[in-house]
């Protein structure tokens, strides 16, 4: 029996209305899973972080980055949790456990790792949020978990993703990468 279950039982036994207190204190609710990604650029310099949190729509990703080229950039979850500069090919292809085509505009579906383009400001900074649909931070036994045995990584590309061309939306070179960790 879990500590939360024992605490809830004690409240019910002692207070008689512990179910109300347990709900108000959040004892009966599962806490949201979180993860982080520390991004490096092609020179191996740390350029910021991403914080990932379970969200009803998938996984929410909050980015706080700098030293990026201004403009629009493709952004994806990649299938391997390795970020070896300068090309970041160690991160493998897009996270695609459902074996779909690339791009949110593709009528045949999209990779679970396909994310919206990022727009970096003229000063090279980026503070934004995105939601990765169809994925979870949960158990590594789920095909949609961002924690398979090889882990996963977040990758930023040099160009915007056209959101339809397989396999990577013509997004160009990989310019920044962050391994997703708990």
The residue annotated as part of the active site, out of 8, 54, 73, 76, is 76
Whether 73 sits among the annotated catalytic residues: the reply is no
Q: Residue 157 in contact with residue 171, Cβ under 8 Å?
A: yes
Whether 76 sits among the annotated catalytic residues: the reply is yes
The residue annotated as part of the active site, out of 8, 73, 111, 151, is 111
Whether 78 sits among the annotated catalytic residues: the reply is yes
pLDDT recorded at residue 9: 35
The residue annotated as part of the active site, out of 8, 54, 73, 78, is 78
Structural domain boundaries in the chain: 1-30, 34-181
CATH no. of 34-181: 2.60.40.200
pLDDT recorded at residue 31: 58
Q: What are the tokens at 95? A: 């996270």
Question: What's the average pLDDT block by block, 10 residues per block, for the chain (182 residues)?
Answer: 35 30 37 89 98 93 98 95 97 88 78 89 96 85 83 96 78 96 92
Whether 161 sits among the annotated catalytic residues: the reply is no
pLDDT recorded at residue 5: 38
The residue annotated as part of the active site, out of 94, 134, 151, 161, is 94
Q: Is 58 left (phi over 0), alpha (psi -120 to 50) or beta?
A: left
**Torsions phi, psi of 7, nearest 5?**
-60, -40
The residue annotated as part of the active site, out of 8, 134, 157, 161, is 157
Q: What are the tokens at 55? A: 């969200």
Whether 174 sits among the annotated catalytic residues: the reply is yes
Please report the DSSP string for 92-123 in residue order. -SB--TT---S-TT-TT---TTB-PPEEE-TT
Angle between helical axes of 18-25 and 3-15 (0-180°, round to 10):
140
State the Cα–Cα distance between residues 161 and 63, nearest whole angstrom. Answer: 18
Whether 94 sits among the annotated catalytic residues: the reply is yes
């Amino acid at each position: 029996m879990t500590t939360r279950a024992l605490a809830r039982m004690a409240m019910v036994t002692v207070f008689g209305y512990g179910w109300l207190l347990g709900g108000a204190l959040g004892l009966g609710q599962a806490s949201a899973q979180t993860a982080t990604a520390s991004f490096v650029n092609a020179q191996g310099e740390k350029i910021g972080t991403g914080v990932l949190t379970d969200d009803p729509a998938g996984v929410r990703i909050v980015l706080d980055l700098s030293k990026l080229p201004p403009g629009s950039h493709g952004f994806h979850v990649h299938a391997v949790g390795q970020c070896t500069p300068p090309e970041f090919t160690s991160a493998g292809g897009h996270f695609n456990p459902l074996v779909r085509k690339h791009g949110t505009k593709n009528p045949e579906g999209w990779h679970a790792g396909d994310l919206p383009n990022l727009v970096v400001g003229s000063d090279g900074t980026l503070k934004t949020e995105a939601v990765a649909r169809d994925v979870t931070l949960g158990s590594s036994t789920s095909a949609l978990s961002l924690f398979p045995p090889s882990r996963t990584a977040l990758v930023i590309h040099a160009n915007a993703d056209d959101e339809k061309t397989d396999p990577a939306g013509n997004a160009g070179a990989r310019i920044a990468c962050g391994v997703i960790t708990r």
